Structure 1
Amino acid sequence: MADTYDVLIVGAGVAGSSLAHALATAPRPKPLRIAVLERSLEEPDRIVGELLQPGGWDALRAIGLGSVVEDIDAAKCVGYCVVDATAGKTVEIPYPGKNEGRSFHHGRLIMNLRAAARRAPGVELIEATVTSLIEDDSSKRRVIGVRASLKGEEEKRPFYANLVVVADGCFSNFRNSVLSENAVKPVTKSHFIGTILKDVVLPIPNCGTVALVKGSGPVLMYQISKHDTRILMDVKQPLPADLKEHILSHIAPQLPHSVQPALRLALDNDRLRRMPNSYLPPSPQGSASLKPGVMLIGDSWNMRHPLTGGGMTVAFSDIAILAPLLAGVPDVSDWTQVKRALDQWYRVRKPLASTVNILSVALYDLFGADSPELEVLRKGCFKYFELGGECINGPVSILSALAPSPSLLTYHFFSVAFYSIWVLFTHPQLVPGPSNQKPRYAVARVDQYPFLLFKSVRVFYTACVVFGPLLWQEMFKNTGPSRRTVVLSLAVLAAVATVIF
């Protein structure tokens, strides 16, 4: 006889395990019977999902899982340090107040999340490989379960449930099946190449370090245990044939001197790991065109660039919002009620999720500059941080998910754009000359202003091209902008222009 559950979750990773715990512990008249199916319950080994922003930690505590970052040798993170390798400068960007994040080995966190899910009432963790979704024969649309083979068995057996939640990660096998014609293919711009540095000294202790290197994407470093520091090097497509040689020749020499010996040692002793950096915008899951009985959560549904470490923050925030909404559904087999909860979840999650998503991709485009206009914006962004005060507090509050506001993000992004233009006119710029001579910098002359004015227009246009489509995709595409949102966005842009000029 096939097993039947109230909720069946495919995947016991960050999203799946925490959702199982949150649903099982949320107050409701009748407890849920929940099954979580995972291909392997052994400790996973991945190079992402290791940095939790303060806002994500707040969400983790909100669903009763704050203790999972304990007893795993986690390192505290109190902010960021941005290193401009070209200019030889460093700027510290601390989290506001006494807020902290945590960084750790991904696998250790997952094992704690699974243990917490297993202890929750009514939750069963099953080691099995899910091969397909089961649809109701009468309608050929409603999903009523999955087929899976238990570990060590070849035979596929059915598992039935009133609600199936797909949380199988960025390489989801079921995303297209669930979303049907609404499915969007993830966009991959680059890969993170990662390894672990042993006993390295970062420029500022307990701060994630972002190194801006010339000719390559940004390099991210953060401590994940007492002796281990993760380094993630962004390499754009197509990947070089010899990654090790590429790193040694083009990336390593531009990193802080305290890091270089440890990186060379790691390249000699350890294998390089790679992970695609993909962007996948969310789409409404209450749509009538989607299959009833099934939903997506986590990276199987929504991804952003991992540069800002926002993936787990969005996942835990999503669950903190979704679990109470589903707990308010008396019967999860009633798709009309579930659909209403999903619609509300999609609206409520939008400010935080959209802010994190937009920032991650826009910041990567600036820090991974590959055009003259983006180089201007990148330099302006760094100098914007050097101003200190609200020019640091605002952006880092957004990055840490403590101030999830698309309007605030819009304000600071275009403040950077306008300030970049100001820097172009008023700050010393590199003067082209023979390669064998010492670099020379000079402020622009008046006769150069016409060219710089033309370049400024291109810089502002580039900023709009980077930010505008992301804002539309995240905030407006699927729901349409409200009059209040449109007016607020225009007011923010007008205020930015007034303040800058």
Structure 2
Amino acid sequence: MPDYDVLIVGAGVAGSALAHALATAPRPTPLRIAVLERSLDEPDRIVGELMQPGGVNALKKLGLESVLENIDAATVNGYCVYDAAGGKTVKIPYPGGHQGRAFHHGRLIMNLRAAARRAPGVDVIEATVSDLIEDSSSARKVIGVRASVKGKEEKQSFHASLVFVADGCYSNFRNSVLGAGAMKPETKSHFVGAILEDAVLPIPNHGTVALIKGSGPVLMYQISEHDTRILIDIKQPIPADLKAHILAKIAPQLPSSVQLPMQIALEKDRLRRMPNSYLPSTPQGTKKPGVILIGDSWNMRHPLTGGGMTVALNDVVILQSLLASVSDLGDWRKVKPVLNRWYRDRKPLASTVNILSVALYDLFGADAPELEILRTGCFKYFELGGEAVNGPVSILSALAPSPALLTYHFFSVALYSVWVMFTHPRLVSHPDEKPRYAAARVDEYPFLLFKSVRVLYTACVVFGPLLWLEMFAHERPSLTTVLLGGVVALTVWATVLS
């Protein structure tokens, strides 16, 4: 019967990085670690292919920067936002010369698994985990897992002092670990993915976000020398003929340089779908001691901003440091405080990335008139340049993990959207006149003022619940929490009044 200090279920980004991190952290006695993965073949996914500079920095802290080499990864220097309605683009470079990387997901995973194997005391085993094993003297304490090992007929039991579950967005153990009251993932839409061959993006080495009229956003970024990933946001209900829908409604609105590669990709390849889900993190350790969720099994955000791997790797960086001080990983009285500390310490980065991803999707995937106004205001805010670009992209890239900075820029966009309504020329059309651009007339101001209140209210409705879920929903009502909540409430109220 194999005995380990740590068992890790899942050898994806979080699981593989965690195995390497725990094995290489300085400890008096080296850990014995087993990583159990259902299939050790190279995975083939359409997400998890863009790593923000914050994620690259986390890899460096873990001594894993080499996993980005020899996989034909493309350098990413920032973003380009393309407005299909006006045919305009705005460049959003990463600050300070920072760079991200984009790649085929499976190639990165294979490098991470190889790094885990090379770490001292780590076994990587191809096995399908079916059950958590609980201590017979205490029905709550998890002491291992039961798994079907490849090539063996009978299930095998693996015991350990501490179990991590990193089995991804379709986690089989989320509910059993968190209990019946666990929050359920909210699927906001689906990404439909394809590979464009030798496509030319509007700005080389920049991820492209195309704002499509009548549809959600379209993402494009180069992931190797010849391959460019395209992800098309499709809302429910999914069209019966996706290819026909994309050819008729989406492809004509894309930048001209990618329209032909898009048509060729639709003719040659099958389209693949991935749900875009949001799952806020919740405190762990009270329902099921001995086991910890990490990665997408515990916390998900919309993949629009490409922040998932960055959050997971930052979680590993924090856990590596905190668990190094725990001499006995089987003593839950020592592990539980570390778990609580991890939950608090990860919030600045994780919450900032999570809030931004969902809020930005709500703006870019706008349906309601007020959200369309906010989307237009957001694009024009970026056109201002300077701090209007540097601040948001610092947040997006996880280089400035600050919910306060995110709140400032989000409501700056909301207020600027109102200013745009009053001052910027817009397309007007009358039956007896040719369409023309004109600024709002004075007699329209009362209606625009009413509309402004609705826009600001919509901004609060989008942002406020996300901020509460990520920052305050599971906190004890301490003085700090009350004060922070009051500041947020006053900020939102002042924004509405203004």
Q: TM-score of the superposition, structure 2-length normalised?
A: 0.97
1:65 aligns with 2:64: yes
Deviation at 1:432, TM superposition (A): 4.2
Please name the residue that 2:149 is paired with.
150
Deviation at 1:152, TM superposition (A): 3.3
Aligned positions of 1:200-211 closer than 5 A: 200-211=199-210
Give SS of 1:258's match: helix
CA apart distance, 1:493? 5.8
Structure 1: gaps (5+ residues): none
Counterpart mapping for 1:7-26 below 5 A: 7-26=6-25
What SS class does the counterpart of residue 80 from structure 2 fall into? strand
Q: Residue 466 of structure 1 is aligned with which of 462, 469, 481? A: 462
Partner Cα distance (2:488, 2:189) in 1: 31
C-alpha distance in 1 between matches for 2:174 and 2:486: 35
1:296 aligns with 2:293: yes
Spell out the pairing of 1:222-371 with structure 2 (5 A cutoff). 222-286=221-285, 288=286, 290-371=287-368
State how 1:30-179 maps to structure 2 within 5 Å.
Answer: 30-179=29-178
Match of 1:373 among 370, 377, 401: 370
Cα distance between partner residues in 1 of 2:259 and 2:234: 18
Separation (CA, whole Å) in 1 of partners of 2:49 and 2:380:
29
Deviates more, 1:70-79 or 1:149-158: 149-158
DSSP 3-state at the match of 1:370:
coil
SS in structure 2 at match of 1:22: helix
Question: C-alpha distance in 2, partners of 1:106/1:396?
Answer: 23
Q: Relative to structure 1, is the Cα distance of residues 154 and 284 closer, same or farther in structure 2, using a 3 angstrom cutoff?
A: same
Is the partner of 2:97 in helix, strand or coil? Answer: coil
Residue among 387, 410, 414 paired with 1:413 = 410
8 A contact 2:353–2:395 mirrored in 1: yes
Maintained 8 Å contact 1:407/1:492? no
CA contact (8 A) 2:456 2:496 kept: no
Alpha-carbon distance change, 277 to 312 in structure 1, aligned in 2, over 3 angstroms: same
SS of equivalent to 2:116: helix
% identical aligned pairs: 74
**Separation in 1, partners of 2:485, 2:316:** 29
Residue 257 of structure 2 aligns to a residue in which SS? coil
Write the letter of the residue equivalent to 1:6.
Answer: D
| Equivalent-residue separation in structure 1 for 2:335 and 2:469 (angstroms) | 25
SS in 1 for 2:346: helix
| Amino acid in the other structure paired with 1:299 | D
* One-letter amino acid matched to 2:37: E
CA contact (8 A) 1:145 1:160 kept: yes
- Of 484-493 and 191-200, more deviation after overlay is shown by 484-493
Question: 1:182·1:283 contact (CA, 8 Å) conserved in 2?
Answer: no
* CA displacement, residues 156-194 of structure 1 (integer Å, 9 cap, x when unaligned): 111111111000000101100100034111000100000
Letter of the 1:448 partner, please give it. Answer: E
Give the match for residue 385 of structure 2: 388
Q: What is residue 451 of structure 2 aligned with on the other side?
A: 455
Q: Contact 2:453/2:496 (CA < 8 Å) preserved in 1? A: no
Aligned counterpart in structure 2 of residue 423 of structure 1, from 420, 427, 432: 420
3-state SS in 2 of match to 1:211:
strand
Aligned partner of residue 43 in structure 1, secondary structure? coil
- Aligned partners of 1:77 and 1:208 also within 8 Å: yes
Question: 2:211 aligned with 1:215, yes or no?
Answer: no
Distance 1:443-1:21 versus aligned 2 partners, 3 A rule: same
CA distance in 2, matches of 1:362, 1:134: 40
Shift, 1:487, TM fit: 5.5
Q: Is the 8 A contact 1:188 1:276 kept in 2?
A: yes
Pairwise CA distance, 1:380: 0.2
Over the aligned positions, Cα root-mean-square deviation in angstroms equals 1.6
CA deviations 1:189-218 (Å, max 9, x no partner) are 100000100001000000000000001100
CA-CA distance at 1:23 after TM superposition = 0.2
Distance 2:467 2:398 in 1: 17
Query: Displacement of 1:496 after TM fit?
Result: 7.2
**Distance change >3 Å, CA 58–CA 250, structure 1 → 2:** same
Cα-to-partner distance string for 1:256-275 (whole Å, 9 max, x where unaligned): 00000001000111111110
* C-alpha displacement of 1:441: 2.4
Q: Given the superposition, is the C-alpha separation of residues 11 and 433 from structure 1 closer, same or farther in structure 2, using an over 3 Å criterion? A: farther
Query: Structure 2 vs 1, CA of residues 437 and 163 (structure 1 numbering), >3 Å: closer, same or farther?
Result: farther
Cα distance in 2 for partners of 1:174, 1:478 equals: 21
Query: In structure 1, what residue type is equivalent to 2:308?
Result: G
Please report how far the alpha carbon of residue 6 of structure 1 lies from its aligned counterpart in structure 2 after TM superposition: 0.6
Q: Which amino acid aligns with 1:110?
A: I
Contact 1:46 1:106 in 2 (8 A): yes
Task: Look up the equivalent residue of 1:352 and give its one-letter code.
Answer: L
Q: Distance in 1 between matches of 2:77 and 2:210?
A: 17
The amino acid of 2:149's aligned partner reads L
C-alpha contact 1:410 1:493 (8 A) present in aligned 2: no
Give the match's secondary structure for 1:302: coil
Deviation for aligned residue 1:483: 4.2
How many residues align structurally?
495
User: Helix, strand or coil for the counterpart of 2:187?
Assistant: strand
3-state SS in 2 of match to 1:225:
coil
Deviations 1:37-85 (A, max 9, x none): 0000010000000000001110111011011001111000000000000
Instruction: Name structure 2 gaps, 5 residues minimum.
Output: none
Work out the CA distance in 2 between the residues paired with 1:76 and 1:441. Answer: 40
> 3-state DSSP class of the match of 1:351?
helix
Decide whether the 8 Å contact of 1:81 with 1:90 is kept in 2: yes
1:285: Cα distance to partner?
1.1
Contact preservation (8 Å) 1:411, 1:496: no
Describe the shift of the 1:374–1:335 C-alpha distance in structure 2 as closer, same or farther (beyond 3 A). Answer: same
The alignment partner of 1:5 has SS state of strand
Distance 2:487 2:61 in 1: 30
1:495, CA displacement in angstroms? 8.8
